[in-house]
Amino acid sequence: MQYEVDKLGFYGKYGGAFIPELLHSNVEELEDNYLKIINSDSFQKEFRALLRDYVGRPSPLYFAKRLSEKYNTKIYLKREDLNHTGAHKINNTIGQILLAKRLGKTRIIAETGAGQHGVATATVCALMDLQCVVYMGEIDIARQAPNVSRMKMLGAEVRPAKSGSKTLKDATNEAIRDWINNPKDTYYLIGSVVGPHPYPDMVALFQSVISEEIKKQLKDKENRDYPDRIIACIGGGSNAAGAYYHYLDDEKVELVSVEAAGLGINSGESAATSVLGSDGVIHGSMTKLMQDKDGQIIEPYSISAGLDYPGIGPLHAHLIESGRSKVLNATDEEAIKAGLLLTRLEGIIPALESAHALAALEKIEFKPEEVTVVNLSGRGDKDMKAYLKNT
């Protein structure tokens, strides 16, 4: 595969493991074991059973008739919003926790910005009876109170990160410090296709069930196992990686990634990393990120908490650089509008993240016979306030 990670953990010039010396043994343990464990029969059996009976997979591939009529083409929605906990993140969380158990770990740590990854982690820790500590910036704790309550109810300890800007990157620093101090019993669970190798590859593998299912479902519905185009939003890029995975080498499938433009690309309040970013190291890997001339991270902004991230995963940096994927972006306003449109045409309230992917429909010229799949990464219950405030 041209877009597969190489032995050193790189996608082209992006990726790798840029980590402090003190983390080498932790990351090495993971790198030496992850493929062996994931590919074993016993792992696959347990993973697949949980995806089916606990998450509710396969998620439907729904032909959106009225939305298709509006754009005069064929549009399918991959319904990750119907998963347990309401988004795609649970696919990865289950995979990594099963892996952690097989590595003999008894304690799970994670960082979370909006709290979605924290909730998915706390959920599976409750299921598996594992200790769970979630680091979260103090400001984010205040902003995302409902998710903090959910994590606590599920039995997780939410630890505030009080340094720096008191947001996601500070929570990440705290989680990494914890992992360094507790290398034996603790597993660090990353929520997107970011972080040092092997995390991006591992998370993409767990999310690849999305495109595995799309192939089968399209074969049934369209009598061919590929669409002409797949559209997904990217924060770190895990739902997109999962939706693209089995089509990466199939160049007849156009891959469209949608970034959050916030108040506008050049407004200073944006998260459009591929346009505004440059090459550098963030969260242990070489990728594209938003930074100033001194290499300080520029705080991103988007109305959608899940897209409010200053980097993108190294796989996406490579897909964009090589021209394999095409990047569009959507502002807060365009996303809100697209979310409301889907709600009224199809009776589906999408997560604001997913609404960015839907907003791209306005920017593409379709042929009537073309088949487009939009990955509907999550449901919009959590975003009601933002939707109502903007109508």
Annotated active-site positions, please?
A: 89, 111, 377
Nearest distance from C-beta of residue 223 to ligand PLP, angstroms: 30
Nearest distance from C-beta of residue 170 to ligand PLP, angstroms: 18
Considering only 11-19, 51-59, 229-237, 251-259, which stretch makes contact with ligand PLP by CB under 6 A? 229-237
Question: Binding string to ligand PLP for residues 303 to 332, with x set by CB under 6 A, is what?
Answer: ---xx-------------------------
Residues 105 to 134: which contact ligand PLP by CB under 6 A?
A: 116
74 lines the binding site for ligand PLP (CB under 6 A): no
Considering only 71-79, 93-101, 230-238, 273-281, which stretch makes contact with ligand PLP by CB under 6 A? 230-238
Nearest distance from C-beta of residue 96 to ligand PLP, angstroms: 14
Question: Binding string to ligand PLP for residues 76 to 105, with x set by CB under 6 A, is what?
Answer: -----------x-x----------------
Of 158 and 258, CB closest to ligand PLP: 258
Compute CA 48 distance to the chain's CA centroid, rounded to the nearest angstrom: 20
353 lines the binding site for ligand PLP (CB under 6 A): yes
Query: Which residues share a beta bridge with 61?
Result: 78
Among candidate residues 307, 298, 273, the one with its CA nearest the CA of residue 383: 307
Cβ–Cβ under 8 Å, residues 138 and 114: no
Count residues binding ligand PLP (CB under 6 A): 18
Nearest distance from C-beta of residue 305 to ligand PLP, angstroms: 8
Cβ–Cβ under 8 Å, residues 84 and 378: no
Of 74 and 336, CB closest to ligand PLP: 336
Cα–Cα distance for residue pair 249/264, rounded to 1 Å = 33
- Give, as one character, the DSSP assignment of residue 378: B
Asked if residue 58 has a cis previous peptide bond (ω within 30° of 0), the answer is yes
- Of 237, 277, 300, 310, which one interacts with ligand PLP (CB under 6 A)? 237
Cα–Cα distance for residue pair 112/137, rounded to 1 Å = 8
Residues 195 to 224: which contact ligand PLP by CB under 6 A?
A: none
351 lines the binding site for ligand PLP (CB under 6 A): yes
Of 68 and 257, CB closest to ligand PLP: 257
Burial class (CB in 10 A: 0-12, 13-18, 19+), 326: middle
Distances (CA, A) of 363 to 160, 231, 359: 40, 12, 8
262 lines the binding site for ligand PLP (CB under 6 A): no
324: tokens are 């394999």
- Quickly list DSSP for 236-290: SSHHHHHHHGGGTT-TTSEEEEEEEEET-TTSS----HHHH-EEEEETTEEEEE-
Sign of CA dihedral 254, 339, 310, 364: positive
257 lines the binding site for ligand PLP (CB under 6 A): no
Residues that bind ligand PLP (CB under 6 A): 87, 89, 116, 192, 233-239, 306-307, 351, 353-354, 377-378
